[in-house]
Amino acid sequence: MVCRAIFKVLVLILFLSFIWVEVLQAETIRVTDKLGRTVTIDVPVKRAVIVTTYELIPALNLWNQVVGVSRWAEEVCGLYRAILNENPNFRRQTVGGGSDLNFEAVLKLNPDLVITWTYNPNTIWFLEKKGIKVIGIYPESLQELYEVMRLHGKLFGKEKRVEEVIKEMEKIFDLIRVRVSKIPPEKRKRIIHLGGKPTTVSCGGITNDVITLIGGINPASSIKERSSIKERNVDVSIERIIQWNPDVIFIWGYARYDENWLYGNSQWKHVKAVREKRVYKLPRWSTWSPRLAPIALYMAMKLYPEQFQDVNFEEVADNFYKKVFGISYYKVKHYEGY
């Protein structure tokens, strides 16, 4: 009889603790987004549409809290596709692309929250008018990326998990920082990052941050400082690039051209990076994601290979993938067509 009483008490305590956890967890927070809008939202969010930060879904295990993603996740993200292949039940409704959301699809899902980028603010105003809560993001530095990730953590009740992911990222960043710090300032190399067009260079934003982190110098960043333009990417004449004479050139993973285009083009032959065949196309990974860390490592290893002789990139990446995304790097690579 005492056993039954104890049993009942245990059940009661268990029951109460569940309620306590629920009550404690359910709170309202206020967020100021990139456009300066204040959004009040109940957390944890139960039905979200995620447009550009879809790689955080597997990283923070948000599958049960996400009802819609942009079609880019399924169309251009190998990681996402690989995970879907293993877990078909993770497939979610797609709601169009990042700059042209399918509003009807979004409204039909009746989400609690839409998290999208601020590239086209009109999408945000439109959804707002329809009574949907939207948070606009556009991380332009590593710090900001961490903030955005932590915001996701807070929104979905995964604060602890976010810190774990950030820790893994920092492991790789630390590795880079340590190795790169050994290089004296005068031996630092000049890097430019080319975008959709071979003459479009990154002069700000998260790519620029990474360049600094890996110990590179981005001559294009001076454009932003001198002209105080808000653009993160600008079109320059090839002459300017020859003048900068970068040691290494990185090409955006989603660009239509690759290093061979530059190698075969007589206009570029006087650029040091082209002459020494140090033009590298980046992997087709989103930079607004934990994968920024392995991208940085990739870039660092191309930049100062002598500092990373003992590092096996794919091993490090695989380790990272397993810890962060729960899937093998090699499986994902298959989906990226490499």
Q: Which is nearer to another protein, 238 or 311 (CB)?
A: 238
Phi, psi of 134 (to 5 degrees): -130, 140
Instruction: Please work out, in degrees rounded to the nearest 5, the angle formed at the alpha carbon of residue 252 by the alpha carbons of 247 and 255.
Output: 125
E strand segments, the chain:
27-32, 38-43, 48-50, 66-69, 93-94, 113-117, 134-137, 189-194, 200-202, 216-217, 233-235, 248-251, 279-281
Kindly tell me which residue out of 111, 157, 198, 204 binds another protein, with binding defined by CB under 8 A.
Answer: 198
Question: Residue 76: how many CA atoms within 13 Å on its side-chain side?
Answer: 16
Return the residues of window 208-227 that contact another protein according to CB under 8 A: 222-223, 226-227
Task: Answer yes or no whether residue 260 interacts with another protein by CB under 8 A.
Answer: no
Task: Answer yes or no whether residue 270 interacts with another protein by CB under 8 A.
Answer: yes
Q: Which amino acid is at 303?
A: L
Task: Answer yes or no whether residue 265 interacts with another protein by CB under 8 A.
Answer: yes
Query: Which positions ≥6 away from 100 have C-beta within 8 Å?
Result: 120
In the complex, the smallest distance separating the C-beta of residue 75 from another protein, rounded to whole angstroms, is 7
Task: Answer yes or no whether residue 304 interacts with another protein by CB under 8 A.
Answer: no
Kindly tell me which residue out of 235, 276, 314, 315 binds another protein, with binding defined by CB under 8 A.
Answer: 235
In the complex, the smallest distance separating the C-beta of residue 302 from another protein, rounded to whole angstroms, is 23
In the complex, the smallest distance separating the C-beta of residue 195 from another protein, rounded to whole angstroms, is 8
Binding residues with another protein: total (CB under 8 A): 32
Task: Answer yes or no whether residue 255 interacts with another protein by CB under 8 A.
Answer: yes
In the complex, the smallest distance separating the C-beta of residue 84 from another protein, rounded to whole angstroms, is 18
Cα 278 from Cα 185, distance rounded (Å): 20
Return the residues of window 116-155 that contact another protein according to CB under 8 A: none
Q: Which is nearer to another protein, 63 or 335 (CB)?
A: 335
Check if the beta carbon of residue 96 is closer than 8 Å to that of residue 30: no
Kindly tell me which residue out of 53, 200, 218, 287 binds another protein, with binding defined by CB under 8 A.
Answer: 200
Q: Which helix (H) or strand (E) holds 143?
A: helix 142-156
- Site pattern 66..105 for another protein (x: CB under 8 A): ------x--xx--------------------x--x-----
Kindly tell me which residue out of 31, 39, 107, 236 binds another protein, with binding defined by CB under 8 A.
Answer: 236
Cα 1 from Cα 192, distance rounded (Å): 77
Return the residues of window 8-27 that contact another protein according to CB under 8 A: none
Instruction: Please work out, in degrees rounded to the nearest 5, the angle formed at the alpha carbon of residue 305 by the alpha carbons of 301 and 309.
Output: 100
Task: Answer yes or no whether residue 237 interacts with another protein by CB under 8 A.
Answer: yes
Kindly tell me which residue out of 38, 40, 266, 309 binds another protein, with binding defined by CB under 8 A.
Answer: 266
Interacting residue ranges for another protein, rule: CB under 8 A: 72, 75-76, 97, 100, 196-200, 222-223, 226-227, 229, 234-240, 242-243, 254-256, 265-267, 269-270
